Amino acid sequence: MSVPAVQDWSLRSWREKEALQQPTYPNDASLQEALDHVSALPPLVTSWEVEHLKTELARAANGERFLLQGGECAESFGDCRADAITSRLKILMQMSLVLTYGLNTRVVRVGRFAGQYAKPRSSDTETRDGTTLPSYRGDIINGAAFAPEARRPDPQRMVEAYASSSLTLNLVRALTEGGFADLRHPEYWDLDFVQHSPLADEYHAIADAIGDTIDFLETVTDEEIDSVEGVTFYTSHEALLLPYEEALSRTVPHKAGVYNLGTHLPWVGKRTNQPEKAHVEYARGIENPVGLKVGPAMTPSRLKTLIRTLDPEDEPGKLMLISRLGADAIGDKLAPLIQAVQATGQSVLWIADPMHGNTEKTDAGIKTRRFDNVLGELEQAMDIHAAEGSHLGGVHFELTGEDVTECIGGARGLSEADLGRAYESHVDPRLNYEQSMEMAFSIVRKHRRLHD
């Protein structure tokens, strides 16, 4: 039996701290029943995969890999369908191909999927036309419909979230292990509605060049290139609903410590990243690599405390800082935070989430993000890291392979008036297929301007 290596920590020690953003379940017995059920179910991922990802993140921190993390703001049970899952994989694969080629670096792919079901909310309640109900907190907790029975937290939803995660991961694993992921056939990843867009042409030129290179290498080496290894996907989600995360955290034979085997890469969100509270307490003891959202309220001294708390041994690949400061604030805020990290002497992976600091509401009350602000924050992050002698090792996007109209701008110049056409998100607005591809090409262009 292995013993947790972390001082004064146990899998339940978060329960002694204040846990923000948790639902109030109507009945303790039914909560316990659901948790017992989830605790008895098999793990979704393995400790080997988790350790392998840690190695990859350590490489990304050193500039030997580039991390692409992306997916839905919130998955929904209704989206656990083949078309939604495959189109999300396709866009992530296409972006990663552009990044691999353009940055000349292997890309580590991490999906915001197979467990991204819990959402932090700024208010506990929502009022519409004089009626007040609990806020929607993600499908793992309650339903999005504005009705009392839908909004009541139901612990059985944890069992359903586990099942949907498992079904999603099953398809992801099957597709990426099979011919779908073959780099020689990137046409398998094409999404029907974009065949004739200018970006698709640019993309196909890269895909053809890669195909030619593989053919050439196979000819000269007289061996088949194993291209499948190149398209592994890791899973990630916000570790928000702590009883659920606890139920999926396990010891494993022949290894010390406790692994969260519900996902490879749990992260702590901006609203729950206080060093003295329950989410950081949970995260500091597990063996997984951990992401930490860094918002505009983060101070250099608090960031140092968090680094000491979450990664006291300076373990390679353990800690990933995800800056989400906003295009307006990043110019002032990022450099002092980078300097604080440098002062610790520790090696952490910095990535940029240019989505969450750039959410705004239109006059009509629709939540949106402007492509130019998203790209603007990303380009500034690249500039500031370069100027500080630091390294930006990856990016984090909310995106979808569908042709939605939730963010303004991009090559097709989506305007405020277009938002009504195909706005599907229940939570944050996502980049659509073309906006996501454009983002990948823009990262490459900016990288070349900085380094050539």
The CB-of-356 to ligand PEP minimum distance in angstroms stands at 4
- For 238, the enclosing helix (H) or strand (E) is strand 233-238
Count CA within 13 A, CB hemisphere, residue 122. Answer: 2
Residue 437 Cβ vs ligand PEP, minimum distance, rounded to whole Å:
21
Q: By CB under 6 A, how many residues form the interface with ligand PEP?
A: 9
270 lines the binding site for ligand PEP (CB under 6 A): yes
41-54 burial, b at 16+ Cβ within 10 Å, e below that, comes to eebbbebebbbebb
Residues in 14-73 that interact with ligand PEP by CB under 6 A: 73
Tell me the per-residue interface mask from 120 to 149 with ligand PEP, x by CB under 6 A, - otherwise: x-----------------------------
Strands (E), 278-369: 290-294, 319-323, 349-352, 360-361, 367-368
| Least gap, CB of 235 to ligand PEP (angstroms) | 14
CB 419 within 8 A of CB 404: no
Is 293 a binder of ligand PEP (CB under 6 A)? Answer: yes
How many Å from the N-terminal Cα to the C-terminal Cα in the chain? 53
Tokens read off for 163: 């099942």
Judged by beta carbon, residue 34 or residue 351, the one nearer ligand PEP is 351
**C-alpha–C-alpha distance, residues 397 and 431, integer Å:** 8
Nearest approach, Cβ of 425 to Co ion (angstroms)?
A: 9
d(CA 441, CA 44): 33
Q: Which of 157, 356, 369, 385 binds ligand PEP (CB under 6 A)?
A: 356
Q: Which of 418, 446, 417 is nearest to 434 (CA)?
A: 418
Q: Which of residues 215-254 bind ligand PEP (CB under 6 A)?
A: 238
Look at the block and give the residue holding tokens 């000349």.
104
Question: Does position 324 bind ligand PEP by CB under 6 A?
Answer: yes
Q: CA nearest 107: which of 436, 437, 354, 393?
A: 393
Binding mask 79-108 for ligand PEP (x = CB under 6 A): ------------------------------
Q: How far is the CB of 199 from ligand PEP (least distance, A)?
A: 26
Cβ 428 to ligand PEP shortest distance, Å: 6
238 vs 402, which CB is nearer to ligand PEP? 238
User: Between vectors from CA 125 to CA 121 and to CA 128, what angle results, nearest 5°?
Assistant: 115
Which residues in 374-413 contact ligand PEP (CB under 6 A)? Answer: none
- State which of residues 45, 73, 89, 378 lies at the interface with Co ion (CB under 5 A): 73
| b/e 86-114 (16+ beta carbons within 10 angstroms → b) | bbbbbbbbbbbbbbbbbbebebbbbbbbb
Q: Which tokens hold the place of 351?
A: 């990535």
Q: Which of 402, 428, 434, 438 binds Co ion (CB under 5 A)?
A: 428
By CB under 5 A, the count of residues binding Co ion is 2
Find which of Co ion, ligand PEP, none residue 293 binds, CB within 5 to 8 Å per kind.
Answer: ligand PEP
Q: Which is nearer to ligand PEP, 172 or 294 (CB)?
A: 294
For position 269 contacting ligand PEP by CB under 6 A, the verdict is yes
Q: What type of residue is 217? A: L
Block residue for tokens 């921190």: 61
CA 407/CA 437 separation, integer angstroms: 14
Q: How far is the CB of 165 from ligand PEP (least distance, A)?
A: 17
Q: Which residues bind Co ion (CB under 5 A)?
A: 73, 428
Q: Give the interface with ligand PEP as residue ranges (CB under 6 A).
A: 73, 120, 238, 269-271, 293, 324, 356
